[in-house]
């Protein structure tokens, strides 16, 4: 016997017990141990986050990471789970800076260093003066993928400044900038060689006399404050302006080379500004490039702290952004400010501390990523991205625009950059391990804390015997390097574990939020492309945002954050997961709330559980076990064959979805199948389980439902691990001690193509369609489902479909509670056509004749004519109506056609199918309807009395004359249905459990429990 199962279930208790079982029996460990010689399935853990409390998005990521290792384990693979590689880096450091604590990351960092040495050896690590995004608060450059993490919309100054031409008083270049603080570092102005420029003359705004301004011709209207006041006095091409000198606005720093003149820049556009761009090589990537091309000086006016250096006397010590208004004021005072406004734009901020980034020329260490750009682009094409648009979109665009990776960070905490430079010759070397460093330093450094400041004290003579002392460079390494180096570093490769590294590289699958596209997804791809010219991962799922129930972003300030524990405690972990998997494609934002997870419980979880509990209850009653005789599928009921065909098709579909990382595709079909299993297969098969004889039909039903439930338990094992194992252990392990003791140690089900019967599935779908039309027809005349009807007829679209009605006649009759079914040969017998010629289309065409044609076609023509016209119009054909000796042609679209039921019938139609019920009731049909109502009330009383489904009873009743007549007429039927050994009229008191069904005294129809207005008293007793 299976363990007894009740429909009522405590989900939390079930999940806790399941957890205990897994722990006690080491199921997780065994899922790996038992496959240690199997082919490898590799996943990597993303950089774990440590700041903040766990949120729903953490559950999302964990759930998605968990699916595929589970699935692949069930497909016979060994899927090693290796806990999060420590790449906390700066978020942790920031926390530590507050707490003054410290963490021992020695070994891990040594491994990261070993990876870095490989880059050095390949000459991919270099130092150069570069303009880099720089955080003056953190005192460090940021890599471009870090920059991409922190864009915000802000308002900045937008100033138009006069640059006086050197030899032409009263003539100015008009120049636009949003960073006034960079003006003291200006060394040139850039124009587009082929752009058109003009010199305009007009009165000085708010001043005296006239002035001349030079700017791009196309921007004159947009920029000048009083356009009418100016007239164009000269026109130039940009190249005519080259080498024109102007007087620098500021001269804080001494300059010995030629500067302050116009140069060409291919980046100059006329989209905004004035078409003349101010060049400060210290503070812009383009500026630096133009500066190098033209041998311009780099004026570094700002220190590493983001404040003006002492030489900039007027603004010394002022943080650059604070200096913007001061510089603006100064230029106004000197008559050089044409106009000062503010404008909104998107600007990068430090992702760690929120300080606006400065573009800043620094001596910095770089990885030569651009050298491998094409390799990275090519390799990207071999990765399976989910969603697939990330491949050529977000990620592909990123690779196309790739810059060298700024690797050094001028910080204290972090992995020190293991480069030592000769303080006399400038030669450098990269140290790959503590052992190597010990050898160089001539002492054992095994116990050395690899961090600053200790490692900075390690100096040694240049090992080539010449030169001076080797000293470490001050930088530490970008923490994102650690994250990308983890496939190597977690094994200490290449110094250690070569074999296991090769076995665990590349990953078959990784998964993180889509914001990692330019973070971890990139660093992994970048490092593996540069070191091995290989991908680091073959499949990747990028997860979208979690929104609240209204579709708004969750945030502390909005107070709409959902605590995941509340959801676990209310609905369990399985329903939580299932919601995340089925609620949408993983890359899209998804709404989330406790109630949405609750819907999963009522919609899916309980449907499956009730089907399972139904099966266990009846199987135990009949003593059925998986070793009982199993009739061959071909000899089973068509319903069994149908549901097995659906099952095996679903196994095939779900397997394909898992294999292509399509999570909704691996879950939604199971939910649809379980719904069909419960509301179609089990409902229609109830009487087969219920009947007393254990014939082949019943054996077939058990074997079929059993196979469905066991298969479903395995299909959902990767996605609903708790419920899956609870089902599997009772259905399989309970009666077969040789079976794997947990579904997570079992193999994934295989689809049996021989059982996939597309014809049968198509036919059954047609039956479902006809039954649902029949129900709609019954509904249209408000006839209760328990009232038997004499006949149902169906019009179908194709002749071969008529055969389906015959083949499934029993099923359709029982579903619709009718005595006979058949094909409808002449719809005209049961259907009336209503035709309405449309004035909007025919009024103009028929003019004065319209009213009489309309009246004839709509009202007065014989029904036979209307039927003939209606059928023709529905087929899309035109009709000709003869009236008063005249022919009127009406087109299909000009007449609205609706079909209604003829007297004594109810019809419903959809898409060319029609169901018609004969609604004429005989006395016998009415009595049978009443008897069925009685049965329903007895069954519900049995349930209330808590009788077991197999308990036999004696039944007493009291009823009015009409009801009593019906009860007598169908006494055998009522007794058989309710397992009543005796049924008699009489007092229902005493030791009977009794109930009274009657009209509500106040006439409230909702409280009316009577049978068609008649009172019924019944009593039941177990015998
Ligand atoms: Zn910062």
Q: pLDDT tens across 784-818, in order?
A: 889 999 999 998 888 888 899 999 999 999 999 99
Q: Say what the pLDDT of residue 92 is.
A: 46
Q: Is 994 helix (H, G, I), strand (E, B) or coil?
A: strand
Residue 537 above 60 pLDDT?
yes
Residues known to be catalytic: 47, 86, 480, 516, 520, 553, 556
Hey, which bits of 731-830 come out as E strands? 789-795, 818-823
Query: Do 504 and 42 meet the contact criterion of CB atoms below 8 Å apart?
Result: yes
Q: Say what the pLDDT of residue 360 is.
A: 87
Residue 99 above 50 pLDDT?
no
Query: Do 398 and 521 meet the contact criterion of CB atoms below 8 Å apart?
Result: no
Task: Please state the rounded mean pLDDT for residues 762-776.
Answer: 94
pLDDT tier for residue 227 given thresholds of 50, 70 and 90: confident
Q: Alpha carbon of 572 to those of 53, 528, 568, 953: distances in Å?
A: 20, 40, 4, 39
* 854 HSE (CA, 13 A, CB side): 17
Question: Measured between alpha carbons, how far apart are the two ends of the chain, in Å?
Answer: 25
Whole-prediction pTM: 0.76
Distance from CA of residue 668 to its chain's centroid?
14
Q: Say what the pLDDT of residue 386 is.
A: 95
How far is the centre of ligand 1, averaged over its atoms, from the C-alpha of 320 (Å)? Answer: 15
Burial per residue of 709-720, b for 16 or more beta-carbon CB atoms within 10 angstroms, e otherwise: bbbbbbbbbbbb
Apex CA 195: angle with CA 193 and CA 201, to 5°? 110
Distance from CA of residue 160 to its chain's centroid?
46
Task: Please state the rounded mean pLDDT for residues 308-318.
Answer: 94
Which residues sit opposite 201 in a β-bridge?
A: 212, 231
pLDDT tier for residue 252 given thresholds of 50, 70 and 90: very high
Q: In this predicted model, which residue has the larger pLDDT, 729 or 105?
A: 729
Q: Say what the pLDDT of residue 964 is.
A: 94
Q: Retrieve residue 4's tokens.
A: 């007894």
| φ, ψ of residue 301 in degrees (nearest 5) | -90, -10
pLDDT tier for residue 127 given thresholds of 50, 70 and 90: confident
Beta-carbon count within 10 A of 855 CB: 13
Over residues 661-702, the pLDDT tens digits come to: 999 999 999 999 999 999 999 999 988 998 878 899 999 999
How far is the centre of ligand 1, averaged over its atoms, from the C-alpha of 157 (Å)? Answer: 22
How far is the centre of ligand 1, averaged over its atoms, from the C-alpha of 152 (Å)? Answer: 14
Helix 106-121 / helix 520-532 crossing angle, nearest 10 deg: 50
Apex CA 485: angle with CA 484 and CA 488, to 5°? 140
Which residues sit opposite 833 in a β-bridge?
A: 899
Task: Please state the rounded mean pLDDT for residues 220-225.
Answer: 91
Task: Please state the rounded mean pLDDT for residues 996-1023.
Answer: 88
Q: What is the dihedral of CA 350, 352, 354, 357, to 10 degrees?
A: -20
pLDDT tier for residue 582 given thresholds of 50, 70 and 90: very high
How far is the centre of ligand 1, averaged over its atoms, from the C-alpha of 357 (Å)? Answer: 8
Evaluated on CA atoms 384, 385, 387, 390, the torsion sign reads negative
Please give the full DSSP string across 272-284, using - where no structure is assigned. Answer: STTSEEEE-GGG-
pLDDT tier for residue 47 given thresholds of 50, 70 and 90: low
How far is the centre of ligand 1, averaged over its atoms, from the C-alpha of 138 (Å)? Answer: 4
How far is the centre of ligand 1, averaged over its atoms, from the C-alpha of 177 (Å)? Answer: 24
How far is the centre of ligand 1, averaged over its atoms, from the C-alpha of 457 (Å)? Answer: 27
Query: Do 512 and 520 meet the contact criterion of CB atoms below 8 Å apart?
Result: yes
How far is the centre of ligand 1, averaged over its atoms, from the C-alpha of 396 (Å)? Answer: 28
The Cα 644–Cα 702 span in angstroms is 12
How far is the centre of ligand 1, averaged over its atoms, from the C-alpha of 146 (Å)? Answer: 11
The Cα 421–Cα 462 span in angstroms is 9
Q: Retrieve residue 403's tokens.
A: 């810059």
Query: How does the average pLDDT of the chain come out, rounded?
Result: 90
Q: In this predicted model, which residue has the larger pLDDT, 559 or 531?
A: 531
Q: Retrieve residue 1011's tokens.
A: 């049978």
The Cα 351–Cα 908 span in angstroms is 62
Residue given tokens 């890359």 in the structure block: 587
Residue 51 above 70 pLDDT?
no
Can you list the alpha helix ranges (DSSP code H) found in 312-432?
320-333, 373-380, 389-392, 394-400
Which range, of 114-128, 501-515, 728-742, averages the lowest pLDDT? 114-128
Q: Say what the pLDDT of residue 488 is.
A: 87
Burial per residue of 817-835, b for 16 or more beta-carbon CB atoms within 10 angstroms, e otherwise: bbbebeebeebbebbbbeb
Cβ partners under 8 Å of residue 233, min gap 6: 199, 200, 201, 212
Q: Say what the pLDDT of residue 556 is.
A: 77
pLDDT tier for residue 96 given thresholds of 50, 70 and 90: very low
pLDDT tier for residue 52 given thresholds of 50, 70 and 90: low
Q: Which of 574, 631, 572, 567 is nearest to 593 (CA)?
A: 567
Q: Which of 553, 551, 571, 570 is nearest to 561 (CA)?
A: 553
How far is the centre of ligand 1, averaged over its atoms, from the C-alpha of 86 (Å)? Answer: 21
pLDDT tier for residue 90 given thresholds of 50, 70 and 90: very low
Cβ partners under 8 Å of residue 42, min gap 6: 79, 80, 503, 504, 505, 506, 507, 508, 509
Say which DSSP state 917 is in. Answer: E
Evaluated on CA atoms 279, 281, 287, 289, the torsion sign reads positive
Task: Please state the rounded mean pLDDT for residues 74-86.
Answer: 81
Residue 93 above 50 pLDDT?
no
How far is the centre of ligand 1, averaged over its atoms, from the C-alpha of 87 (Å)? Answer: 18
Q: Say what the pLDDT of residue 199 is.
A: 96
Q: Say what the pLDDT of residue 572 is.
A: 96
């Amino acid at each position: 016997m299976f363990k007894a199962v009740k429909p009522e279930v405590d989900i939390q208790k079930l999940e806790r017990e399941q957890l205990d079982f897994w722990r006690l029996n080491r199921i997780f460990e065994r899922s790996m141990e038992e496959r240690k010689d199997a082919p490898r399935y590799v996943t990597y853990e993303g950089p774990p986050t440590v700041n903040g409390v766990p949120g729903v998005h953490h559950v999302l990521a964990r759930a998605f990471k968990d699916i595929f290792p589970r699935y692949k384990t069930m497909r016979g693979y060994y899927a090693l789970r290796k806990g999060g590689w420590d790449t906390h880096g700066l978020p942790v450091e920031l926390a530590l800076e507050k707490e003054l604590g410290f963490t021992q990351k020695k070994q891990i960092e040594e491994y990261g260093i070993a990876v870095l040495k490989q880059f050095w050896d390949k000459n991919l690590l270099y130092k150069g003066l570069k303009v880099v995004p720089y955080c003056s608060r953190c005192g460090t450059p940021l890599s471009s993928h870090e920059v991409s993490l922190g864009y915000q919309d802000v308002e900045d100054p937008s100033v138009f400044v006069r640059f006086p031409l050197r030899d032409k008083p009263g003539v100015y270049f008009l120049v636009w900038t949003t960073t006034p603080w960079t003006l003291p570092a200006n060394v040139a102005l850039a124009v587009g060689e082929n752009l058109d420029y003009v010199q305009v003359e007009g009165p000085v705004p708010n001043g005296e006399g006239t002035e001349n301004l030079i700017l791009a011709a196309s921007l004159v209207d947009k920029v000048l404050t009083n356009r009418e006041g100016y007239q164009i006095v000269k026109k130039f091409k940009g190249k005519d302006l080259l080498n024109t000198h102007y007087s620098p606005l500021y001269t804080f720093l001494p300059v010995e080379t030629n500067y302050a003149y116009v140069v060409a820049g291919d980046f100059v556009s006329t989209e905004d500004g004035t078409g003349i761009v101010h060049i400060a090589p210290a503070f812009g990537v383009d500026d630096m490039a133009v500066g190098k091309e033209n041998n311009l000086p780099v004026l570094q006016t700002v220190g590493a702290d983001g404040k003006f250096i002492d030489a900039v006397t007027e603004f010394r010590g002022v943080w650059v952004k604070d200096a913007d208004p001061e510089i603006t004021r100064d230029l106004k005072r000197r008559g050089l400010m044409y106009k000062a406004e503010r404008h909104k734009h998107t600007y990068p901020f430090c992702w760690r501390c929120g300080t606006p980034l400065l573009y800043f020329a620094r001596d910095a260490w770089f990885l030569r990523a651009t050298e491998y750009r094409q390799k990275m682009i090519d390799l990207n094409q071999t990765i399976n991205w989910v969603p697939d648009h990330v491949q050529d979109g977000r990620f592909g665009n990123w690779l196309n625009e790739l810059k060298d990776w700024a690797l050094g960070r001028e910080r204290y905490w972090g992995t020190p950059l293991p480069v030592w430079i000769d303080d006399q010759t400038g030669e450098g070397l990269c140290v790959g391990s503590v052992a190597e460093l010990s050898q160089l330093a001539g002492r054992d450094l095994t116990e050395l804390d690899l961090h600053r400041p200790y490692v900075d004290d390690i100096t040694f003579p240049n090992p080539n015997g010449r030169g001076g002392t080797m000293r470490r460079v001050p930088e530490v390494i970008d923490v994102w390097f650690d994250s990308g180096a983890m496939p190597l570093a977690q094994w200490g490769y290449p110094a250690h574990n070569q074999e296991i590294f090769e076995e665990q590289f590349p990953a078959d699958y990784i998964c993180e939020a889509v914001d990692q596209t330019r973070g971890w997804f990139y660093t992994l791809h970048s490092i593996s492309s540069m070191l091995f010219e290989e991908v680091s991962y073959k499949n990747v799922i990028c997860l979208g945002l979690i929104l609240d129930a209204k579709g708004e972003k969750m945030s502390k300030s909005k107070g709409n954050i959902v605590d995941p524990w509340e959801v676990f405690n209310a609905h369990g972990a399985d329903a939580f997961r299932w919601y995340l998997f089925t609620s949408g494609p993983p890359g899209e934002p998804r709404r989330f709330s406790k109630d949405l997870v609750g819907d999963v419980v009522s919609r899916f979880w309980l449907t499956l559980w009730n089907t399972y509990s139904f099966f266990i209850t009846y199987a135990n009653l009949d003593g059925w076990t998986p070793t009982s005789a199993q009739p061959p599928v071909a000899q089973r009921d068509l319903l069994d064959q149908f549901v097995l065909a659906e099952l095996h098709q679903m196994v095939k579909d779900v397997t394909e979805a898992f294999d292509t990382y399509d999570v909704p595709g691996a879950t939604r079909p199971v939910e649809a199948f379980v719904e069909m299993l419960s509301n179609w297969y089990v409902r229609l098969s109830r009487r087969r389980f219920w009947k007393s004889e254990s014939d082949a039909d019943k054996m077939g039903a058990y074997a079929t439902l059993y196979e469905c439930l066991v298969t479903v338990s395995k299909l959902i094992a990767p996605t609903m691990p708790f419920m899956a194992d609870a089902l599997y252990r009772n259905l399989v392990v309970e009666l077969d001690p040789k079976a794997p003791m947990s579904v997570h140690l079992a193999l994934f089900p295989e689809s049996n193509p021989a059982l996939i019967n597309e014809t049968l599935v198509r036919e059954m779908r047609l039956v479902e369609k006809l039954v649902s039309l029949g129900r709609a027809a019954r509904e249209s005349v408000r006839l209760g489902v328990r009232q038997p009807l004499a006949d149902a007829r169906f019009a179908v679209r194709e002749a071969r479909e008529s055969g389906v009605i015959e083949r499934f006649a029993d099923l359709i009759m029982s579903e619709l509670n009718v005595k006979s079914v058949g094909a409808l040969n002449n719809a005209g017998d049961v259907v009336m056509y209503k035709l309405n010629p449309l004035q909007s289309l025919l009024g103009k065409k028929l003019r004065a004749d319209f009213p009489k044609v309309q009246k004839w076609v709509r009202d007065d023509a014989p029904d036979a004519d209307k039927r003939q016209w209606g059928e023709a119009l529905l087929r899309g054909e035109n009709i000709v109506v003869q009236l008063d000796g005249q022919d009127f042609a009406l087109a299909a679209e000009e007449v609205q056609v609706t079909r209604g039921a003829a007297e004594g019938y109810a019809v419903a139609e959809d898409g060319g199918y029609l169901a018609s019920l004969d609604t004429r009731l005989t006395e016998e049909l009415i009595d049978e309807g009443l008897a069925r109502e009685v049965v329903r009330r007895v069954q519900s009383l049995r349930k209330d009395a808590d009788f077991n489904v197999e308990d036999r009873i004696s039944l007493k009743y009291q009823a009015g004359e009409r009801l009593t007549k019906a009860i007598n007429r169908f006494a055998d039927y009522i007794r058989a249905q309710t397992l009543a050994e005796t049924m008699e009229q009489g007092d229902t008191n005493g030791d009977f459990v009794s109930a009274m069904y009657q009209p509500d005294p106040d006439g409230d129809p909702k409280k009316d429990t009577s049978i068609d207005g008649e009172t019924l008293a019944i009593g039941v007793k177990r015998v």
